[in-house]
Amino acid sequence: MSERPDYVMHMDVLFDHLAKIDVPKLVAECTDPWWNQTLVRVNDCVVRLGIIEGEFHWHKHDEEDELFFVLQGRLFVDIEDGEGAELLPHQGFTVPRGVVHRTRAPEKTVMLMMSKASVVATGS
């Protein structure tokens, strides 16, 4: 679970290999404004589903890069000392390890995130 009460984060892997992943079903069932679920492990990485509205806190990952890929909505990836990105559906952006960043979604946004399994999704 998350360290902050407004972030609902599930670090357990929801699907095994060879299992069908139904993202629209997960989106339809979600009632939380900020929800993050690890879907599957792929080698030493994980793919997470984020359903978010609002803003995450500034943070960095010292050892891991992080990919954001928007399925629905609009996501801003802010970079502390650089140019971030506004992502629309079917657009992605990778934040390199060690870069301070945060995500913001002005409306309900559905995204996939991919990183090494060692990433702490609570953004420490």
pLDDT for residue 87 is more than 80? yes
Residue pair 112/49 in contact by the 8 Å Cβ criterion: yes
pLDDT for residue 124 is more than 80? no
CA 22 – CA 89 distance, rounded (Å): 18
* pLDDT confidence band for 118 (50 / 70 / 90): confident
User: Which pTM was predicted?
Assistant: 0.90
pLDDT for residue 18 is more than 90? yes
Q: Which of 1, 5, 56, 83 is CA-nearest to residue 113?
A: 56
Helix (H) or strand (E) holding 23: helix 23-29
| Alpha-carbon Rg for the chain in angstroms | 13
Quote the mean pLDDT of the chain. 91
Number of Cβ atoms within 10 Å of the Cβ of 34: 20
Answer positive or negative: Cα dihedral of 112, 114, 118, 119.
negative
* pLDDT confidence band for 65 (50 / 70 / 90): very high
Which pLDDT does position 119 carry in this prediction? 78
* pLDDT confidence band for 22 (50 / 70 / 90): very high
Q: Which of 69, 58, 76 is CA-nearest to residue 91?
A: 69
Which pLDDT does position 53 carry in this prediction? 94
Residue pair 65/99 in contact by the 8 Å Cβ criterion: no
The angle subtended at Cα 88 by Cα 76 and Cα 49, nearest 5°, is 75
Digit-coded pLDDT (tens) for 29-49: 999 989 999 999 999 999 999
Residue ranges and CATH numbers for the domains of the chain are 8-116 (2.60.120.10)
pLDDT for residue 1 is more than 70? no
